[in-house]
């Protein structure tokens, strides 16, 4: 699948893009710097940005985040802010210079509910009724964190 380039801009920390990012149940990043994710953690990429290769990634929508979830062990959902140099691709995904974790929550129960209702989590079209129900569940989870 080739990425559709959307934009390459500099985004202020005062007005960041908001996104979603899944991590494993141990809250540890799969790639360098392999740190444990916690609220308030800021990560900075000091290498050239390249979608799917290098950078602090996030999805604009929860559906896009689910479509890129790295396996069933990725049960922790993070609400993140991305800023600095930000490349937007596929219309709803980011590769950014900086990513800050606003909050993190265990989404195991929500993901289990989705699997029970729709089968194995796979690719969801953003316009589907399933996607709209899933999005509502995660927005409810977000509301409980704010």
Domain boundaries, the chain: 5-145
Q: Strands 17-23, 5-11: parallel, antiparallel or unpaired by DSSP?
A: unpaired
* pLDDT tens per residue across span 23-69: 999 999 888 778 999 999 999 999 999 888 888 999 998 888 887 77
Supply the pLDDT for residue 54.
85
pLDDT band with cut points at 50, 70 and 90 for residue 1: very low
* pLDDT tens per residue across span 79-131: 999 999 999 987 788 999 999 999 999 988 888 887 777 766 665 665 567 77
Give the pTM.
Answer: 0.84
27 class by beta-carbon count within 10 Å (0-12 exposed, 13-18 middle, 19+ buried)? middle
* Residue 88 per-residue DSSP state: E
């Amino acid at each position: 699948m080739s990425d559709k380039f959307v934009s390459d801009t500099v985004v202020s920390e005062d007005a960041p893009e908001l996104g979603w990012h899944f991590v494993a149940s141990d809250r540890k990043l799969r790639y360098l710097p392999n740190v444990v994710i916690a609220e308030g953690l800021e990560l900075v990429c000091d290498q050239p940005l390249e979608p799917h290769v290098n950078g602090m990634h996030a999805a604009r929508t929860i559906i896009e985040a689910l479509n890129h979830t790295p396996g069933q062990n990725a049960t922790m959902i993070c609400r993140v802010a991305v800023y600095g140099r930000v490349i937007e691709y596929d219309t709803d995904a980011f590769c950014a210079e900086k990513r800050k974790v606003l909050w993190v929550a265990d989404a195991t129960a929500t993901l289990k509910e989705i699997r029970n209702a729709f089968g194995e989590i796979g690719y969801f079209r953003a316009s589907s009724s399933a996607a709209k129900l899933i999005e509502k569940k995660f927005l409810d989870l977000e509301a409980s964190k704010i």
